[in-house]
Structure 1
Amino acid sequence: MSPLHRLGLATARHPWRTVVAWLFALVALGGLASVGGGEFQDNWNVPDTRAQAGVEELRDHLPDAGGSSAQVVLHDDHRLEAAVVHEVVADLRSTDHVTTVTPRLSEDGDTALLYVRYDVPTTDPAIYEDISGLEHATDAAADAGYEVEYGGELPGTATSLQGRGELIGILVALVLLVIAFGAVLAAGLPIATAVGGLAAGSSGIALLAGIMDVSTSAPTIATMVGLGVGIDYALLILTRHVERLRAGDAPVDAAARATATAGRAVLGAGVTVLVSLMGLRLAGLPTYDAFGFATAIAVVCVMAAALTLVPALCALAGRRLLPRKERRAPEVSRLGAGAPRSSTTGIVETREVKEPLTARWATTVAKRPVAWALLALTILLALGAPALGMRTWPQDGGSDPKDSTTRAAYDLVADEFGPGANGPITLVADLDTVDRAEVKQVHADVAGLPGIAESGPVTYSPDGKLAVWDVEPTTSPIDERTTDLLASLRSDVLPEGVDATGYTPLLSDISDLLGQRLWLVVGFVVVLSVVLLALMFRSVVVPIKAALMNLLSIAAAYGVVTLVFQHGYGASLLGIDHAVPVSSWVPILMFAVLFGLSMDYEVFLLSAVHDDWLDTGDAQGSVVRGLSRTGRVISVAAAIMVAVFLGFASEPAVVVKMLGVGLAAAVALDATVVRMVLVPATMTLLGKWNWYWPFSSVVEVRGAPAPSLETSDDERDDLEEVAR
C-alpha cells in the first residue's frame, strides 16, 4: 500500500478527526499570524542598476531628495486665485514627512502643478497607500470649487483591488461544477477545499511578512494561483472518487484509491508549480522573491487540503456526490457483477456504456496525427507571432483607469505642462569627479538637446558633494522616445561622474533588467522541470516534448497580451481606453506561473497515459484511453481556472488585468490546442519512443514486460494480448 493510499484511507476512515484537525490548524495559524505576522511592505529597490545608485547618492547627501514624491494638480475653468494656491502650498508643507513643495502655474493660469517631496521612500509604512495628508491639505482648493487630482509615485500606491476577481471566479466555478457533476454537494466540495487551503495560506503569507518584505500585491497573485490550482487538485481527486463510486466501491475505499492514484498526479503537478515559482528568485528583484515565496505557500496549503480534506469530505458525503438519479439506482457493483472491468479505470464495462466524446476525439486525432499536429502548431505560432514585437515598460498613471484620480492628474499635467512633466529625469553629478564648471557646461548641453523640453536650475548638496537638477523630456515616460533619450544621455552626452536617476530612469532600468533576466528564469525552470518529469515518468522524450509545448502555449499567451494591450484589440472591453506597453513585471511572472500550471495538465494527462501503457504495453492505444479518461476533467478544470483568471482581469489595476488575460489565454490554449490536439498527435506519431528510457533496457508493465524499442510487431501484439 502506497503512502498516499494510506493517507487517503486514514483521512477517509476518520473524516471528522480530519476536519477538526484542519479547523484547529486554521485557528492556530491565524493566532500565530496575528502574533508573529508582519505588515505587507513593498521593496522597490532595484539592485545593481545605475538609477538605483543615483537614488542612494541622493539619500546619502541630500536626504530630502531621495524620498517619495507626489503631484497635486489644481484646475479650474478660470484663472486660479493666488491666495487659494498659496494656502494649499502652506498646508502641504506642514504635512508629515513633506520636505519641499514646488508650485508651477500653467501659462493660462487655470492649472497649478505642485511637486511634493517626502523624506521617506514610497514604501515606508508611514505614507504607503495613504494620501489622506494630501487630501486634508487641499481642502481650501476643494472648498473653492477647484478640481483636485493626485498623481505621481505615492498616489499611485493608493489604488486598491476591489476583490471582484475571487468572487467572480468562485461563482463561475460553482456553476461549472454543478453542470459537470449534477450534484450541488459535489460542486461545492472542491471550492470549499480550495478556500480552506487558501485560508491556511493567507496565515502563512502573513507569517512570511514577519521575516521578510512581502509585497502588498503578493497575496493577490498567491490567491489568483492558489484558488485556481486548489480547485483543480480537489477536482481531480473528486472525479476519480466518483469513478470509483460508480464502479461499486464503498465511499471510504473509493476515497483511498482516488488519493492513491489521482493524489500522485496532484503531488507531481504541485511540485512542478513550486519549481517554477522558485525560478522567480533569479529575476533579481526583491519583489519577485516575495511573489515566489507567497504563491508557493498558497500552493502547498491547497495541495495539502486536496490530499487530506478531499478524501475526508468524500467519505462523509457518501453516495450523495452522485447525481440524484444515480443515487436512487442500485449500486453499479450489483448490476455489473461479473462484468469485465477496464484495465485502467476499474469501471464496469457494459455494452450500454457509450464511448466518451474525448475518446472519439482522440481516435480522430490519432488517425491523422501529422495534419492535426501541423494545425495546432500553426495556431500557436500565429498567436505567438505578435510577441516578437512586444515592448515592455512598467506602468505609470497614464495606464490607470480613466475615472481614477491618478489618470486625471496625468492627463491634466500632460495637457497643461507637456507630457514630459509627468516623468522628469534627475541628473546627479559627483563633484569629486567633475567640477562646477563642467557641471555648468553639461547643464547647457543637456538643455539644448532636441528631446528636452525644460531644464531646471542646478542645486548643490549641503556637503558640497553633489550637483543636482531636473530635466523634462518632450515625451511621456511611457513613450519609446523617452527611453531612447535616456539611453542617448547616458551613452553620448553625460560624462563620467554624471548620471540620470529618478522615477523614469528607474522604470527604464527595471525594464532592461527584467528583459535580461527572463532568459535565466526560463532556463532554470525548464531544465529542472524536464529533470523532474523524466524521473516521474521514466522517459526522456515525454518531458522534453512537454517543455517545448509549454513554451509554445506561453509564447501564444504573450502574443495575446501584446495584441490586447499593446495593439488595443479588445482593450475597451477591459476598461482600457488606449493602447499601452506590456508591463515589465508581467512576462517573468506569467512564465513562472504558467509553466507550472501547464505542467499540471501535462501531469494529469500523462499519468493516465503512463498507467495505461504500464497496464497494456500499447503505446498508441494508451494515448486514446488516457485522453478519454482525463479529457473531461481537464476541460472542466481549465474552464474553472480561465473563469478565475478572467475574474481578476476585471480589477482596475492594469498589471492585474494583464496577468488575468494572459493566464486565462494560456490555460485555455493549453487545455484545448495543446492537450486535446498537439499532445495526442505527437504521442501517436512517436509511439513507443514516448517511453524511451536509456537507463534500463526493458520497462516492466503490470503483469507483463512492455515491449522494448527493439521488440518486433508480432512480439508486441502477443504482449498486448497478455496484458489485456
Structure 2
Amino acid sequence: MSSLLGRLGGAAAARPWRTLVAWLLLLAAAFALAFTVGGTPRDSYRVPGTPSQAGSDLLAERFPEMSGAGARVVVHDRAGARVPDAVLEELSGRLAGLRGTPIVAPPVFSPSGDTALITLNYRIPVTSFEGAEGLDALRAAAEPVERGGLQVEFGGQLPENFSAPSGTAEAIGIVAALVILVLALGTVVSAGLPLIVALAGLGLGSAVVYLLAAVTDISATAPTVATMVGLGVGIDYALLLVSRHVEGLRKGLTPQRAAAEATATAGSSVVVAGSTVLVSLLGLKLAGLATYSSFGYATFAVVGAVMLASLTLVPALCSLAGPRLLRRAERRTIGKPAAAPAGPTRTERWARLIGRRPVAAALASLVVMLALAAPMLAMRTWPQDAGIQAESNTTRKAYDLVTAGYGPGANGPLLVTVDLRKVAAAELPAIAARLQADPGVAAVAPALLNGAGDAAVVSVQPRTGPQDTETRHLLDRMRAGLLPPGAEVTGVVAVFADISDRLSSRLWVVVPFVVALSLILLTLLFRAPVIALKAAAMNLLSVAAAYGVMTAVFQTDAGAGLLGLPHSVPVSSWVPILMFTVLFGLSMDYEVFLLSRVREDWLATGDARGSVVRGLSATGRVISSAAAIMVAVFIGFAIDPDVTVKMMGVGMAAAVLVDATIVRLVLVPATMTLLGRANWWLPAWLDRLLPELRIEHGDGPAPAARERERVGV
C-alpha cells in the first residue's frame, strides 16, 4: 500500500496542474449532476414492526385524509380580547385551499378566548414538502390576519420539521481552523492548503449526497452531520500530509520527492484512519431505521471524498507551493548542514515523564475518564420538541401559546386508531371512558369514524408535555391495558417513543459490530492484536466520556442555558448511536496517526519503550493541532439551531478533546510503556493466517525487524 500511495503522490506532484484541472472538472461535473438530477434530503419516519407504525398504516388505509402531516395555526390577541369569529372563518377558508387537501378542524378557543387553535391534517406526509414550502404556504394564508394586528404562530409536525440552514457553524469552524493551522504550520500558505483540500473534498462529497437523495431517502439533517465530520477529518488528513511533506523539505528533499514520501508514509495513515471511519459508519445500517442508514450514506460519501482529495490534491498543491511551505528562516537553511538539536522537545519530555511513572499516569487518567463518563448512567433519551427551540422561533411561540391556553399536553396529542373489524363500534364509549379516567389524561375527543364505518380515531390529550416522563408512562399504560386488541396508539409522540425504544435496543447490536470490525481492521494492518484491543478499549472510554459530558450539559438547566436552551432537556434519541459510530472512527484516527510512527520506529530499532517516546514526539504536535481544529469545528456546530446537531457538536468536541489529551498524551504512552514488547506480540498461528499488508514506506523492514514483528521479541 505504501509503494502504491507513493507512486500516486509522486505522479500528482510531478503533474500538479493536470491534477488541479482534473479536480476542477470532477467538481464541475458533480455539481452539474447534483443540480440537474439530484434529489432533496427528506426524513423517513417509518418504523416497521412497531405499534405506532401499525396505527399509521391503518390511517393510511382507511383514513387517508388524516394519514399525512399535521400542523397547528395559533391565533392570539395580545390585548387579551376574544379572537373574532369572522377572522377565523376567513383564515380557515384560505387554509382549506392549501396543497395536500388539508382537513381544517373548527377553531378551538382557550378558556379566556384570546387564543384560537386551528388544527390541519394533510393527505400527504411531511416528507413530501421541500424545504420551507409547507411553512411558507401557511404564512401566506395567515398574512391578512397578522396585518389586522393579531399574532399568528405555527406549530405541529409540518412547521417543526423545517430548519433553515444558516451556515454560521461552518464559517466559525473554518475561521477557527485557519487560525490554528497558521499557529501550527507557521505560514499562511501551508495553513491555507489543508483548508482548500478539505473544502474541495467536502464539495465533491456534498454533491454525491444530493445525488444519493435522488435514489433513496436522505435525512434532512444528514448533510449537516456529514459536513461536520467531513470538514474536521478533511482538515486533519491534509494537515498530517502537509506536516510530513514539510519534514521532507527540511531534510533537503525536492518538493516532488517530499510529496511522494509524505503520501507513502502519512498517506498510509490517512487510508487506515479513513477506512476505520468508513467501517464504523457501516454500523448505522444495523440501527433498523432508514433515517440512520441515510446518515451513514451521507457521511460515508463525504469522508471518502475528503480522503481522495487529501491523497491527490495535497501532493499537487505542495509541489506547486515548493519551499513557501517553510518559514523564512527555514528557507535560508535549505541545503546547509542541519543544526544540532537544541534538546528534547516538549512532547518528548512529556513522554519520558509518563514512561518513568506509567502506573500512576495510567491510573490517574483512567480515574478522570471514568469521572467524565459517570453522568452517562443518568442519561435519558427522548426525541426533541418545539419547547426547546429558540424563543424567536415561530414553533416555540406556538408551543408556549398552546401550553398557556390549553395545557402542555395539547402540544403532543396521542391518536388512538381503532379497527372496527376487530373492535365493536359499541365499545367506543367505554374505551373513551377508560381513557378519560386515567390520571394522566386531560381530555378525550369524541371518536371520528371513517366513511366506510370500519375504523375510528380518538384523540387523547395528556396532562403533561411531549418530553415529560409521565407522558411516556401514559403511553405505556394505554398499550398495556387501557386499549383492547385492535386499537393502536400513533401520532408524533408515539412514533418518536417507538423510535427511541428501537434505537436504545439496537445500540447493543451496533456497538459490538463496530468494535469487532475495527479490531479486525487494526489487527490486519498492524499485526498486533494487543494494540488493537487496547485501541478499542480506549476509544470506548472516549465515547463514554463524551456521553457523560453531553448528559451533564444538556440534562442540567445551567448547562443547557449556556447553549441557549430554555431549560434542561433529555438527550435526543437520534444521538447516541450516531455519535458512537462517528466518534469510534474519529478516535481511531489519532490512534492510527500515533501507532504508525511508533510501529515504524519499533520495526527499525526493536526498542519498545524508546519507540513510544520517539513516535509520540514526532506526532504529538500534529495530533494536538488536528484535535484543536476538530474541536473548533465541532464547537461551531454547537451553536446550530437544530438541537440534535447541537448535541452532536458538543459531544464530539468533548470526545476529541479528551481523546487527544488524556488518552493520547497520558493513557496510551503509559499503557504502551507498561506492556513493552507485549504490545507487538503476535501468535505464530495468527501470523500464518494474517495476510501481509505493509503500510510502512519502502520495501519493508529488515529481516531482524520481520522476526521481531512475528514473535514480538
Q: Same fold (TM over 0.5)?
A: yes
User: Is the 8 Å Cα contact of residues 615 and 703 (structure 1) preserved in structure 2?
Assistant: no
1:85 aligns with: 88
Q: Does residue 1:575 correspond to 2:564, yes or no?
A: yes
The Cα shift of 1:99 comes to 2.6
Selected match of 1:546 from 535, 540, 563:
535
The Cα shift of 1:458 comes to 0.8
Superposition map of 1:99-138 within 5 A? 99-102=102-105, 103-125=107-129, 130-138=134-142
User: Is the 8 Å Cα contact of residues 606 and 708 (structure 2) preserved in structure 1?
Assistant: no
| CA–CA separation in structure 2 for the residues paired with 1:68 and 1:617 | 66
Selected match of 2:401 from 412, 420, 430:
412
The Cα shift of 1:153 comes to 0.4
Give the secondary-structure state (helix, strand or coil) at the position aligned to 2:684.
Answer: coil
Q: Does residue 1:394 correspond to 2:396, yes or no?
A: no
Q: Under a length normalisation based on structure 2, what TM-score does the superposition of the two structures give?
A: 0.95
| CA–CA separation in structure 2 for the residues paired with 1:28 and 1:138 | 42
Give the secondary-structure state (helix, strand or coil) at the position aligned to 2:195.
Answer: helix
The Cα shift of 1:709 comes to 10
Give the secondary-structure state (helix, strand or coil) at the position aligned to 1:74.
Answer: strand
Q: One-letter code of the match for 1:451?
A: G
1:383 aligns with: 372
1:37 aligns with: 38
User: Is the 8 Å Cα contact of residues 684 and 711 (structure 2) preserved in structure 1?
Assistant: no
Selected match of 2:451 from 456, 462, 475:
462
Q: Per-residue CA shift, 1:173-192, capped at 9, x if unaligned?
A: 11111111111000000000
1:498 aligns with: 487
Q: One-letter code of the match for 2:99?
A: D
1:361 aligns with: 350
Sort the Cα spacing of 1:384 and 1:577 in 2 relative to 1 into closer, same or farther, 3 A: same
| CA–CA separation in structure 2 for the residues paired with 1:2 and 1:456 | 72
Q: Does residue 1:162 correspond to 2:166, yes or no?
A: yes
Q: One-letter code of the match for 1:9?
A: G
Q: Does residue 1:590 correspond to 2:594, yes or no?
A: no
The Cα shift of 1:711 comes to 9.2
The Cα shift of 1:156 comes to 0.7
1:629 aligns with: 618
The Cα shift of 1:140 comes to 3.2
| CA–CA separation in structure 2 for the residues paired with 1:172 and 1:86 | 53
Q: Does residue 1:656 correspond to 2:645, yes or no?
A: yes
Sort the Cα spacing of 1:702 and 1:129 in 2 relative to 1 into closer, same or farther, 3 A: farther
1:618 aligns with: 607
2:306 aligns with: 302
Q: Per-residue CA shift, 1:271-307, capped at 9, x if unaligned?
A: 0000011111111111111110111111111001100
User: Is the 8 Å Cα contact of residues 128 and 157 (structure 1) preserved in structure 2?
Assistant: no
Q: Does residue 1:217 correspond to 2:218, yes or no?
A: no
User: Is the 8 Å Cα contact of residues 54 and 488 (structure 2) preserved in structure 1?
Assistant: no
The Cα shift of 1:162 comes to 0.8
Q: Per-residue CA shift, 1:548-599, capped at 9, x if unaligned?
A: 1101110110111111111234322211121111100111111111001000
The Cα shift of 1:701 comes to 4.8
Give the secondary-structure state (helix, strand or coil) at the position aligned to 1:70.
Answer: strand
The Cα shift of 1:479 comes to 0.2
Superposition map of 1:174-193 within 5 A? 174-193=178-197
| CA–CA separation in structure 2 for the residues paired with 1:680 and 1:454 | 62
User: Is the 8 Å Cα contact of residues 417 and 458 (structure 2) preserved in structure 1?
Assistant: yes
The Cα shift of 1:249 comes to 0.9
1:446 aligns with: 435
Q: Does residue 1:7 correspond to 2:11, yes or no?
A: no
| CA–CA separation in structure 1 for the residues paired with 2:710 and 2:201 | 48
| CA–CA separation in structure 2 for the residues paired with 1:624 and 1:422 | 59
Q: Does residue 1:562 correspond to 2:562, yes or no?
A: no
Q: One-letter code of the match for 2:152?
A: V
The Cα shift of 1:159 comes to 2.3
The Cα shift of 1:609 comes to 0.7
Q: Which deviates more, 499-508 or 129-138?
A: 129-138
Give the secondary-structure state (helix, strand or coil) at the position aligned to 1:612.
Answer: helix
The Cα shift of 1:204 comes to 1.1
Q: Per-residue CA shift, 1:426-483, capped at 9, x if unaligned?
A: 1111112111122221111111111100000011111222121101000001100100
2:500 aligns with: 511
User: Is the 8 Å Cα contact of residues 103 and 121 (structure 2) preserved in structure 1?
Assistant: yes
| CA–CA separation in structure 1 for the residues paired with 2:340 and 2:359 | 33
Q: Under a length normalisation based on structure 1, what TM-score does the superposition of the two structures give?
A: 0.94
1:702 aligns with: 702
1:721 aligns with: none
Selected match of 1:692 from 674, 681, 703:
681
2:76 aligns with: 75
Q: Per-residue CA shift, 1:29-74, capped at 9, x if unaligned?
A: 2223233322222222122211011011001001011111111111
Sort the Cα spacing of 1:203 and 1:423 in 2 relative to 1 into closer, same or farther, 3 A: same
1:425 aligns with: 414
| CA–CA separation in structure 2 for the residues paired with 1:502 and 1:168 | 38
Aligned residues: 698
The Cα shift of 1:355 comes to 1.3
1:144 aligns with: 148
Q: Does residue 1:326 correspond to 2:327, yes or no?
A: no
| CA–CA separation in structure 2 for the residues paired with 1:695 and 1:279 | 31
Q: One-letter code of the match for 1:254?
A: A
1:96 aligns with: 99
Sort the Cα spacing of 1:491 and 1:256 in 2 relative to 1 into closer, same or farther, 3 A: same
User: Is the 8 Å Cα contact of residues 617 and 706 (structure 1) preserved in structure 2?
Assistant: no
Give the secondary-structure state (helix, strand or coil) at the position aligned to 1:235.
Answer: helix
2:65 aligns with: 64
User: Is the 8 Å Cα contact of residues 563 and 569 (structure 1) preserved in structure 2?
Assistant: no
Give the secondary-structure state (helix, strand or coil) at the position aligned to 1:454.
Answer: strand
User: Is the 8 Å Cα contact of residues 688 and 709 (structure 1) preserved in structure 2?
Assistant: no
| CA–CA separation in structure 2 for the residues paired with 1:588 and 1:684 | 33
1:335 aligns with: 337
Q: One-letter code of the match for 2:421?
A: D
Sort the Cα spacing of 1:590 and 1:697 in 2 relative to 1 into closer, same or farther, 3 A: closer
User: Is the 8 Å Cα contact of residues 684 and 710 (structure 2) preserved in structure 1?
Assistant: no
User: Is the 8 Å Cα contact of residues 459 and 467 (structure 1) preserved in structure 2?
Assistant: yes
| CA–CA separation in structure 2 for the residues paired with 1:31 and 1:607 | 39
1:241 aligns with: 245
Q: One-letter code of the match for 1:34?
A: F
User: Is the 8 Å Cα contact of residues 613 and 701 (structure 1) preserved in structure 2?
Assistant: no
| CA–CA separation in structure 2 for the residues paired with 1:326 and 1:573 | 44
Selected match of 2:288 from 269, 275, 284:
284
Sort the Cα spacing of 1:317 and 1:68 in 2 relative to 1 into closer, same or farther, 3 A: same
User: Is the 8 Å Cα contact of residues 698 and 707 (structure 1) preserved in structure 2?
Assistant: no
| CA–CA separation in structure 2 for the residues paired with 1:679 and 1:422 | 49
Sort the Cα spacing of 1:439 and 1:279 in 2 relative to 1 into closer, same or farther, 3 A: same
Give the secondary-structure state (helix, strand or coil) at the position aligned to 2:330.
Answer: helix
| CA–CA separation in structure 1 for the residues paired with 2:450 and 2:103 | 15
2:276 aligns with: 272
Q: One-letter code of the match for 2:702?
A: R
User: Is the 8 Å Cα contact of residues 427 and 499 (structure 1) preserved in structure 2?
Assistant: yes
Sort the Cα spacing of 1:691 and 1:127 in 2 relative to 1 into closer, same or farther, 3 A: closer
Q: One-letter code of the match for 1:335?
A: P
User: Is the 8 Å Cα contact of residues 197 and 304 (structure 1) preserved in structure 2?
Assistant: yes
User: Is the 8 Å Cα contact of residues 75 and 116 (structure 2) preserved in structure 1?
Assistant: yes
Give the secondary-structure state (helix, strand or coil) at the position aligned to 2:371.
Answer: helix
- RMSD of aligned alpha carbons: 1.8
The Cα shift of 1:203 comes to 1.6
Give the secondary-structure state (helix, strand or coil) at the position aligned to 1:504.
Answer: helix
| CA–CA separation in structure 1 for the residues paired with 2:10 and 2:53 | 56
Sort the Cα spacing of 1:460 and 1:163 in 2 relative to 1 into closer, same or farther, 3 A: same
The Cα shift of 1:702 comes to 3.0
Q: Which sections of structure 2, spanning at least 5 residues, go unmatched?
A: 689-699
The Cα shift of 1:415 comes to 1.0
| CA–CA separation in structure 2 for the residues paired with 1:452 and 1:129 | 35
Q: Per-residue CA shift, 1:381-421, capped at 9, x if unaligned?
A: 11111111111111111121121110111011011100000
User: Is the 8 Å Cα contact of residues 687 and 710 (structure 2) preserved in structure 1?
Assistant: no
Q: Which deviates more, 402-411 or 700-709?
A: 700-709
User: Is the 8 Å Cα contact of residues 201 and 298 (structure 1) preserved in structure 2?
Assistant: yes
The Cα shift of 1:128 comes to 6.1
Give the secondary-structure state (helix, strand or coil) at the position aligned to 2:417.
Answer: strand
